[in-house]
A and B are shown apart, each in its own frame.
Chain A
């Protein structure tokens, strides 16, 4: 369970203080399939960075599974990201000139306590199989299509059995057919494995896959599905 209470984030740009999040309170239950939408500049990327423990809020309280994570230091946040949160990025962010299998295995190397390499490999193989890339597991990212790369990235995000999957515009660089495939994969993970999936997107079609849309505007949350969005969904 993720809970945010009155989270604020202020960027200091020289003399000027730029408030980006102006008091966000939010609660995401375990096993939810949520989208975070909003126009650019609405603060959704900042919120996602805070949810992903990549950034610290300027103020407010933030709990993951009942643990206050707002005050964690860099090392503690690194461990939390490693073990509790899986990341999927818009531009896939796979290691270049490294095989798909190695890419999937990589986050497990930072697991604490250390896992035996054989076990990591075994788990990575299962995940590669799950995303349907067993024939291409020795290919490097350059030899894979965008959709395949994103599937490798999803497999990578799952290697440490995270409870939360955080996807930042996962379909942004994909065509519509592959987007649907990828979104279906997220839904399956949510439904079958009970993983909390949070998808940050500005694309309404993508948001439509999720059960709950959190709409952000100007650093604040417009809870629920907006009228405009529901109109799109009913089409």
Chain B
């Protein structure tokens, strides 16, 4: 039998019983609709998570000092003050193949005062002139600090939108003064809103300063400047008093440590930075960038071969990948649940096909008598069930897509149309048609024409 004829024959058989066909298909429609809707919503939330992570700064690698252990007490990561601002310069200068931007990173915490109001911001962070680009900040009003301002340790700062709203709801913050731990800084810009990060922390509740300003003007009384219990020196106190009120040029390179040398070198906290932030180039793997930077840093730190690295690197993408894969697993689980309803729909198809075969026994007998081979009968019923499922699959596709769009318009959930999921859904529908249509079709093909013709 020709395929087109077979196709028409099957279609006619289905049209002959439209109500039954519609009810049979309902199971498949619901199953496919559920799969499509869930996968679209899942895909959407995956995209949203990825987007919220890229607001943290895409392709960023953090470099920390290695941990240090003194008298059996380990400091944890970053305990060793082994990273210098010059390391950031060296990485940018030498790792041209993999690194786009590099910046030192320091943190401080404390109270800020504007006029007669005060506030403790989430974070006070410092970097160089590339820092905003690396972290994905944009300046909404005013301007960013320059390389010159970084070198001069200028008393300038950028404020996040939360702080701008808190203190300056009625006037422009640019040009206003803010006191951070009794040091007066001038606001030169307001950052565009980023919103909450993946952990729910308000990213906009922050101040961003040149790192040099934090190190030289805020140090000593700042929270993060308290030294870890490890071996790093607590030398900052000794110079903080001068620096707080200093307006003159900053001495980046104090002569020597004021503490006596011990077995381990104790670099000055003013000379070192908390960590380095590196943005790698697009299309470069984090691994390649890390390898290149390791070489450069080891040379910078003059580490002999065989000596362990005095720094550690963390790829932020690892974390975002973990979060994305969590949401992916969740939506996969839901799709699997939806698949169960597809199987139930498939059983419905099988049931109706069995009824159909029994009901049309005489037709089968007649077709066999006039020359249909068993396989012709088999193909006929198989194609019928596949057609049923395909029609159901296509309707389900439309319903599921419509449902996810509806949900997204009502609840504002992000949805992402996924052609792959759609293709898969239709394929699965056809596969269900074959799997669950097989047995009834096989049964039909095994009928004895004589008995089938006599069937009442």
Residues of A within 8 A of B (CB): 49, 52, 54-55, 74-75, 78-79, 81-83, 87, 89, 93, 95-98, 106-107, 109-111, 114, 117, 156, 160
Question: In the complex where A109-B5, A111-B371, A114-B2 touch, is A93 in contact with B450 (Cβ < 8 A)?
Answer: no
Chain B: CB-nearest residue to A157: B370
A-chain residues with CB within 8 Å of residue B16 when the two chains form the complex: 97
| A52 in contact with B2 (CB, 8 Å) | no
Contact with A along B358-377 (1 / 0, CB 8 A): 00001101111111111110
| A78 in contact with B1 (CB, 8 Å) | no
The answer to the question of B21 belonging to the interface, with a C-beta cut-off of 8 Å to chain A, is no
Complexed CA–CA distance, A168 and B408 (Å): 66
| B370 in contact with A82 (CB, 8 Å) | yes
Chain A: CB-nearest residue to B12: A98
| B371 in contact with A78 (CB, 8 Å) | yes
15 pairs, CB–CB < 8 Å, chain A vs chain B: A54-B369, A54-B450, A74-B373, A75-B374, A75-B375, A78-B373, A81-B370, A83-B371, A96-B363, A97-B16, A106-B367, A107-B370, A110-B376, A117-B4, A156-B370
| B371 in contact with A107 (CB, 8 Å) | yes
Nearest chain B CB to A81 CB, angstrom units = 5
| A78 in contact with B368 (CB, 8 Å) | yes
Question: In the complex where A54-B449, A114-B2 touch, is A79 in contact with B369 (Cβ < 8 A)?
Answer: no
| B450 in contact with A110 (CB, 8 Å) | no
**Contact partner of A110 among B1, B12, B363, B453, CB < 8 A?**
B1
| B1 in contact with A74 (CB, 8 Å) | no
Chain B: CB-nearest residue to A153: B366
Nearest chain A CB to B445 CB, angstrom units = 10
| A110 in contact with B369 (CB, 8 Å) | no
Chain B: CB-nearest residue to A112: B371
The answer to the question of B329 belonging to the interface, with a C-beta cut-off of 8 Å to chain A, is no
**Contact partner of B369 among A81, A98, A109, A117, CB < 8 A?**
A81
A-chain residues with CB within 8 Å of residue B453 when the two chains form the complex: 89, 93
| B12 in contact with A87 (CB, 8 Å) | no
Complexed CA–CA distance, A97 and B5 (Å): 17
B-chain residues with CB within 8 Å of residue A83 when the two chains form the complex: 371
B-chain residues with CB within 8 Å of residue A96 when the two chains form the complex: 363
Nearest chain B CB to A48 CB, angstrom units = 10
For chain B, the count of residues having a C-beta within 8 Å of the partner chain is 24
| A87 in contact with B369 (CB, 8 Å) | yes
The answer to the question of B9 belonging to the interface, with a C-beta cut-off of 8 Å to chain A, is yes
Tally of A-B residue pairs with Cβ under 8 A? Answer: 63
A-chain residues with CB within 8 Å of residue B373 when the two chains form the complex: 74-75, 78-79, 110
Complexed CA–CA distance, A54 and B369 (Å): 7
| A78 in contact with B372 (CB, 8 Å) | yes
Q: A75-B373, A78-B372 are in contact. List 14 more A-B contacts (CB 8 A).
A: A54-B369, A55-B450, A81-B369, A82-B370, A83-B371, A87-B370, A93-B369, A96-B363, A110-B1, A110-B367, A110-B373, A110-B376, A114-B2, A117-B2
A-chain residues with CB within 8 Å of residue B4 when the two chains form the complex: 117
| B369 in contact with A52 (CB, 8 Å) | yes
Chain A: CB-nearest residue to B366: A93
| B9 in contact with A109 (CB, 8 Å) | yes
Nearest chain A CB to B358 CB, angstrom units = 15
| B2 in contact with A79 (CB, 8 Å) | no
| B371 in contact with A160 (CB, 8 Å) | yes
Contact with A along B297-315 (1 / 0, CB 8 A): 0000000000000000000
Complexed CA–CA distance, A51 and B226 (Å): 105
**Contact partner of B5 among A49, A54, A93, A117, CB < 8 A?**
A117
**Listed residue (B2, B369, B376) with the most chain A CB atoms within 10 angstroms of its CB:** B369
| A49 in contact with B367 (CB, 8 Å) | no
| A79 in contact with B450 (CB, 8 Å) | no
| B residues 370-417 touching A (CB-CB < 8 Å) | 370-376
Nearest chain B CB to A41 CB, angstrom units = 15
Nearest chain B CB to A74 CB, angstrom units = 6
A-chain residues with CB within 8 Å of residue B450 when the two chains form the complex: 49, 54-55
| A106 in contact with B370 (CB, 8 Å) | yes
Nearest chain A CB to B394 CB, angstrom units = 25
| A109 in contact with B2 (CB, 8 Å) | yes
**Listed residue (B4, B362, B363, B371) with the most chain A CB atoms within 10 angstroms of its CB:** B371
Nearest chain A CB to B447 CB, angstrom units = 11
List 6 A-B pairs, minimum CB-CB distance, nearest first: A82-B371, A107-B370, A110-B371, A78-B373, A93-B366, A75-B373
Nearest chain B CB to A127 CB, angstrom units = 14
Complexed CA–CA distance, A82 and B372 (Å): 8
| B372 in contact with A110 (CB, 8 Å) | yes
Complexed CA–CA distance, A81 and B369 (Å): 7
Complexed CA–CA distance, A97 and B368 (Å): 19
Chain B: CB-nearest residue to A114: B2
| A79 in contact with B363 (CB, 8 Å) | no
| A79 in contact with B374 (CB, 8 Å) | no
B-chain residues with CB within 8 Å of residue A156 when the two chains form the complex: 370
Chain B: CB-nearest residue to A81: B371
Nearest chain A CB to B221 CB, angstrom units = 92
Complexed CA–CA distance, A160 and B371 (Å): 10
| B residues 113-165 touching A (CB-CB < 8 Å) | none
Complexed CA–CA distance, A82 and B369 (Å): 8
Nearest chain A CB to B306 CB, angstrom units = 79
Nearest chain A CB to B235 CB, angstrom units = 95
Complexed CA–CA distance, A81 and B362 (Å): 17
Contact with A along B89-105 (1 / 0, CB 8 A): 00000000000000000
B-chain residues with CB within 8 Å of residue A87 when the two chains form the complex: 369-370
Nearest chain A CB to B384 CB, angstrom units = 15
Chain A: CB-nearest residue to B376: A110
| B2 in contact with A95 (CB, 8 Å) | no
B-chain residues with CB within 8 Å of residue A106 when the two chains form the complex: 367, 370
Contact with A along B421-453 (1 / 0, CB 8 A): 000000000000000000000000000011001
Complexed CA–CA distance, A17 and B308 (Å): 92
Contact with A along B7-28 (1 / 0, CB 8 A): 0010010001000000000000
Chain B: CB-nearest residue to A79: B371
| B residues 331-379 touching A (CB-CB < 8 Å) | 362-363, 365-376
| B363 in contact with A109 (CB, 8 Å) | no
